[in-house]
Structure 1
Amino acid sequence: MRRSVLTALAGTLLVTVAGCGSAAPEPAAPQPAASATLDRVGRTTELRVCSTGDYRPLTYRDPANGRWSGIDVDMAGALAASLGAKATIVPTTWSNLLGDLTSDRCDIAMGGVSVTDARAQKAAFTTAYLSDGKTPITRCENVARYQTVEQINRPEVRAVVNPGGTNEQFARETLSRATIVPYPDNNTIFDAVADGRADLMVTDAIETRWQATRGKGLCAVHPEKPFTRSEKAYLLKQGDPAFLDRVNTWLRGAMTDGTYQRFARPWIG
């Protein structure tokens, strides 16, 4: 009986040892996905950034000297630096922004880009960094007249719009009875309201706040309670998840370590 037990134990030991010897090796750690964008940025030390330059406080190109400024212009420089590169701003328009990005004129679009389904179908958004919405800006003496969509959506009300972006989309869809006044230059469009060529403009609350500080007699209408809610994010080409992940990682850090707040403070306090 004792001999049988010892034999059984020996057999068990042999099986155990044999099993240890034939164990499959652990799978290798997954390699990071290749990124055509990160590869190109690394080789050229240049990050190409599409921006409209007409949406202060986020992006502005001075027509007199071509200099760029704005919160997202500074953020573009910080992103490029994190990649060991410098940012090159590629001028675009709201009508052409998506096409310029997808045709590889730039690596990323920055400067107050609203998250929309139409853009998301053709490009990739980062994590949102700003929550905003559409609200009116008008001459200060008229603030009480344009509190609601119903007050604005009348034939006698002239609503000025810049073509090609979400402002025009909102006006065409929501202010269908108002008189829509297209205006091609978003850098001077608010002058049309200030000098009486239009009654108001509906745009993002952050822009109305900035414009109201410029001493032209304009006031933002309830920017803390806009008509809509939307988010701003940065826009990248589809098909490069490694680049998207890299930008998102950097953006999360910039939003929590004081980088964004430092760039925003001179513009909006």
Structure 2
Amino acid sequence: MKFPMMIATSVTALALGHTTQAAEPLKVGISGEPYPPFTYKAASGDWTGFEVELAHSICAAMERECEISPTGWSGIIPSLNAGRIDVIMNSMSITEKRQRVIDFTRPYYFTPGAYVAASDVDIDIPDDLDGLLMGVQSATTNATYARRELRDSGVDIRLYDQAEQVNNDLLSGRLDVILADEIAMAQFLERDKAEDFEIKATAPRHEAYGEGIGIGLRQDDDALQASLNEAITAVIEDGTCASLSEEYLGTDVCVYD
């Protein structure tokens, strides 16, 4: 008689444990350095932006809460694998190199890299890069592309830890051109200080840019990956992704099946 009761007790405990685990907030890792319009702090001090709001929508579709967890970009993958965050959702491209150490969900958006320089500079890219100083944020797909494809162009590539450092050095004249995400650059060019700059060209599709932007998670976390993929598909199909994209980016960058 006691044996079935013990089984029932154990099953109940497991069920409660599962419920508790499922109710825990999902720690969503983003870079501690703002990356508008994808991730940045509102006047209230809370994090917002296209990916932050999309993360909350994805969590809602999973019936979980999001806990936005800023960390340094250069250490964001180690933080994931160390268990300090559960996922990475910060414009991280799905690339073969990254897939050696982490897994990804299906892509949820894609944009190309863009070259930005002063409007009054007549430049044909990549032919006229020889002798110019070009800024790129390190540990990004744009940096990988520049390293693989632009070394022979004669351009002097300067790597930076933060995207805003690249932008500021372009504005101050310490750089001739920068290579960064096209959507981020479109937003950057709306600033008053950047009125004399423009996008000169976009980078071609290249293996360095991977398959698009996905949510990074630890390898073999199959259950979470399946839940995230289902939730991403849901927020894309119901129009949530497109609505947020139009609100924050001015265009629809969502990846549809």
Instruction: Give the superposition deviation at 1:110.
Output: 0.4
Do the aligned partners of residues 47 and 108 (structure 1) sit closer, same or farther apart at CA in structure 2, a change above 3 Å counting?
same
Give the structure 1 partner of residue 158 of structure 2.
Answer: 181
User: Quick check: 2:106–2:229 contact (8 Å CA) kept in 1?
Assistant: yes
1:120-269 correspondence runs (5 A): 120-142=99-121, 144-145=122-123, 147-152=124-129, 154=130, 156-176=131-151, 177-215=154-192, 216-217=194-195, 218-223=197-202, 226-229=203-206, 230=209, 231-269=212-250
- CA apart distance, 1:174: 2.5
Judge conservation of contact 2:137–2:180 (CA < 8 Å) in 1.
no
Match of 1:24 in 2: none
Q: C-alpha displacement at 1:39, in angstroms?
A: 6.6
Q: Aligned in 2, Cα 1:60/1:164: closer, same or farther, shift over 3 Å? A: same
Secondary structure, aligned partner of 1:148 = coil
Residues 13-62 of structure 1 show CA distances to partners (whole Å, capped at 9, x for unaligned) of xxxxxxxxxxxxxxxxxxxxxxxxx8775242x11001114332222246
Q: Deviations for 1:194-237, whole angstroms, at most 9, x for unmatched residues?
A: 221101111122222222222312212234xx333431111111
For 2:168, the aligned partner's letter is D
Q: Which residue of 2 aligns with 1:5?
A: none
Report the alpha carbon displacement of residue 240 of structure 1 after superposing the two structures with TM.
Answer: 1.8
Matched to 1:253, the amino acid is A
Deviation sequence 1:54-98 (CA, Å, 0-9, x none): 332222246x87531211100111122233332112212332121
Residue aligning to 1:80: 59
C-alpha contact 1:134 1:228 (8 A) present in aligned 2 = no
Give me the whole-angstrom Cα distance separating, in 2, the residues matched to 1:120 and 1:262.
Answer: 30
1:60 and 2:40 aligned: yes
Report which stretch shifted further, 162-171 or 125-134: 162-171
- Alpha carbons 1:95, 1:165 under 8 Å: kept: no
Unaligned runs of 5+ residues in structure 1 are 1-37
Say if 1:170 and 1:107 are closer, same or farther in 2 by CA, change over 3 A: same
> 2 CA distance for matches of 1:61 and 1:181?
27
CA shift, 1:188, in A, is 4.0
Q: Supply the distance in 1 between the matched residues of 2:180 and 2:88 (Cα, whole angstroms).
A: 19
The 2-side partners of 1:42 and 1:246 are apart by: 11
In 2, Cα distance between equivalents of 1:102 and 1:137: 35
Q: Say if 1:100 and 1:106, in contact at 8 Å, map to a contact too.
A: yes
The CA distance in 1 between the partners of 2:175 and 2:20, in whole Å, is 46
Amino acid at match of 2:248: W
Change beyond 3 A, Cα 1:43–1:255 = closer
Runs of 4 or more consecutive aligned structure 1 residues displaced over 6 Å after TM superposition? none
SS of match in other structure, 2:67: strand
Once residues 208 and 108 of structure 1 are traced to their aligned partners in structure 2, the CA distance between those partners, rounded to angstroms, is 25
- Are the structure 2 counterparts of residues 222 and 175 from structure 1 closer, same or farther at C-alpha, using a change threshold of 3 Å? closer
Higher Cα radius of gyration: 1
Moved more, 160-169 or 111-120: 160-169
- Aligned-residue identity in percent: 23
Question: Contact 1:60–1:69 (CA<8 Å) still a contact in 2?
Answer: yes
Shift of 1:112: 0.7
Once residues 242 and 83 of structure 1 are traced to their aligned partners in structure 2, the CA distance between those partners, rounded to angstroms, is: 12
Q: Is the 8 A contact 2:92 2:215 kept in 1?
A: yes
Q: Structure 2-normalised TM-score?
A: 0.78
Q: Which runs of structure 2 are paired with 1:92-111 in the superposition (5 Å)? A: 92-111=71-90
